[in-house]
Structure 1
């Protein structure tokens, strides 16, 4: 089943995307997606809408979320697929993870005010579909629209990364907790876009080793931020650790995302696709 146009990583207005779950489903279907998942950050509030819209467009659907964890002082994202969205322990864990975003956002606003960017917190709120999930992306959109920066990449480079005026670290869930929330709810945990993390070779090896020890079973091999060389590199990592491979665009917005829904290369044929592990969870 490797030759399948599956897109198992994208975001709606329920977290930091700009499109509704319904509009994302329509866009995915128009781009030929056959199996879809909405993976909003630390949030599953859009799952029923996404599943209903997917079915209306003739697509198969897997439940999804993307959980922020702290590992080796870096924020790492773990995608959960095929879990029961009514699982109470998972709901509680995601709620606790979201709770830290509001105070962090106010600190970001205060840091930007110190370098002359006034009312950034209030400005960012105008771009938020779900106030519990205000994030750096919403600040970036405000700074672009107000003319401070040309695009969101410039905002992050000048203001929102470590050592810059608007950078505020956040302690997320633990790797163990995130993987266990997903797996005990019947889903499969997947390391998202591994090439994006600033890990040494030893740190990356530790991430994959611990992830698998906690019950993690997949890794994104083909994803919007990976190069062709990184597809090859993480296909080899999947083989080394005995992990299934996932595929997802990480689409957020037509104006910001350089990879559209459903527009990625197919998974390498010698890998086990993550959806093979979830055949009984596909809706």
Structure 2
């Protein structure tokens, strides 16, 4: 069975609709898929409808933004009851915080000489407005040549249009997902620009707060990176997840691409398939 438990659609900052996400995952040989849009489950109904007539199992997912030690961290939640009242309330609050942040980013871009950025980003967003939509807008108007340069010049931490996030806490996210009957991982642990010591602190705090797993296998990893994450999962007695973090097709990133778990890992899906 091929699993891909981390991807995004136009419900957040992905480039494909939920239907197109499911269709492409099938084309790439994925058997079990989780759509994990940022702080929203608004794409799940469409994705489920698309999956009904295709040879794929779709499970509920969402990538929850948290603030931990003044750092922006993502937790990937899986296989929960999406109608759970506590979960719905948490995501509604996250949506309000995201909208507030989007407005503040536009205000900062205006001070930097870029007008109508909110409207431009909103035109590119079918769902919630994220920094990725601002980056695409900046490319579209010729302010920068690439999405990467948009973050380096304007949107990244410490840059002129950066707005500090005010997301929920790690404990709130973990408790809410567990109340909804789901499981939760630290998403892409090596992509936060943290030292190995800080990543270990993050995983320690996550384990102590009752977290379930970490993403061990992702696209574009080196063998050493994957083995390191597998060792940490084993050391901290956490389950291991896999995910492409798909937003749009690229040469090095696509559904199910190289998502293999080392043999010493306990797959996260055994928690709901046993």
TM range (shorter): over 0.9
Cα distance in 1 between the residues matched to 2:195 and 2:232: 15
Cα distance in 2 between the residues matched to 1:16 and 1:102: 14
Q: Within 5 Å, which residues of 2 pair with 1:1-283?
A: 4-130=1-127, 133-224=128-219, 226-254=221-249, 258-279=252-273
Q: 8 Å contact 1:83–1:187 — kept in the other structure?
A: yes
Deviation at 1:225, TM superposition (A): 5.5
Runs of 4+ in structure 1 displaced over 4 angstroms? none
Aligned length: 274
Cα separation, partners in 2 of 1:168 and 1:222, compared to 1, 3 Å = same
Unaligned runs of 5+ in 1: none
Q: 8 Å contact 1:72–1:203 — kept in the other structure?
A: no
Q: 8 Å contact 2:243–2:259 — kept in the other structure?
A: no
Deviations for 1:245-280, whole angstroms, at most 9, x for unmatched residues?
A: 11111111236x841111124111221111111216
Q: 8 Å contact 1:248–1:264 — kept in the other structure?
A: no
Provide TM-score, normalisation by structure 1.
0.92
Q: 8 Å contact 2:234–2:264 — kept in the other structure?
A: no
Deviation at 1:61, TM superposition (A): 1.9
Q: 8 Å contact 2:31–2:56 — kept in the other structure?
A: yes
Unaligned runs of 5+ in 2: none
1:267 counterpart SS class: coil
1:80 counterpart SS class: strand
Cα distance in 2 between the residues matched to 1:214 and 1:62: 24
Provide TM-score, normalisation by structure 2.
0.95
1:18 counterpart SS class: coil
Deviation at 1:204, TM superposition (A): 2.3
Greater RCO, 1 or 2 (C-alpha within 8 Å, sep 6+): 1
Q: 8 Å contact 2:244–2:259 — kept in the other structure?
A: no
Q: Please, what is the CA RMSD of the aligned residues?
A: 1.5
Range with greater deviation from structure 2 (143-152 or 90-99): 143-152
Deviations for 1:111-158, whole angstroms, at most 9, x for unmatched residues?
A: 11222222111111111112xx21100000111111222211111111
Deviation at 1:227, TM superposition (A): 3.1
Cα distance in 2 between the residues matched to 1:118 and 1:79: 34
Q: 8 Å contact 1:44–1:65 — kept in the other structure?
A: yes
